[in-house]
Chains A and B, each alone.
Chain A
Amino acid sequence: DAGITQSPRHKVTETGTPVTLRCHQTENHRYMYWYRQDPGHGLRLIHYSYGVKDTDKGEVSDGYSVSRSKTEDFLLTLESATSSQTSVYFCAISWTGGYNEQFFGPGTRLTVL
């Protein structure tokens, strides 16, 4: 298995609270991604990073921010969580932007009450 961990694995929080999810890799891959997966929508890209301090928006970035201060860590922050952000969040890594496979982390199940 690719060395990708996500923390926390499960979280329940209340509407309006800030939440930060962490993705940590030991593979030294340049690209890192945050996805959310919801029934009927599949996997949707939130944000991605192509290097330290280099990030860009994905398909569903509203309400989310990211930071990458080290190659191995990619943080996803919900500044003020809403119930619509209840989802399973997956981190992924890849060597290149679109020509190699992505390796996925185990996922974080987030519930916003």
Chain B
Amino acid sequence: QKEVEQNSGPLSVPEGAIASLNCTYSDRGSQSFFWYRQYSGKSPELIMFIYSNGDKEDGRFTAQLNKASQYVSLLIRDSQPSDSATYLCAVYGNQFYFGTGTSLTVIP
């Protein structure tokens, strides 16, 4: 079993819609959770991080964490074509583990 699991997609949503990206992790002792965006051929860049159960909002992005279910998600509201990228979930327990990423395409 992988430490961090993501649906690889591809996920396609129309422009203006909400994109929902999901991630599960296996280490119940994990402490911090990150979402990165990676454009093709580029390096990952941070979108959000979350430490506590519940929701954290930053502009069009909302991260949701449920430690009991070992589940973290990212919602992108009012999706734009520029949001088309691969989204990586990262989890820190005793070291960083990344999921394989979910490819998102926003259709104009």
Contacts and interface: CB of A to CB of B under 8 A. Distances in A.
Interface of A: 33, 35, 40-45, 48, 58-59, 90, 97-107
Given A104-B43, A105-B43, A44 B34 contact: no
Interface of A is mostly: loop
Interface residues of B, number: 21
A106 B96 contact: no
9 contacts: A35-B98, A42-B100, A43-B98, A90-B44, A99-B51, A104-B44, A104-B45, A106-B43, A107-B43
Interface string B82-108: 000000101011011111110000000
Interface string B5-35: 0000000000000000000000000011010
A48 B90 CA distance: 16
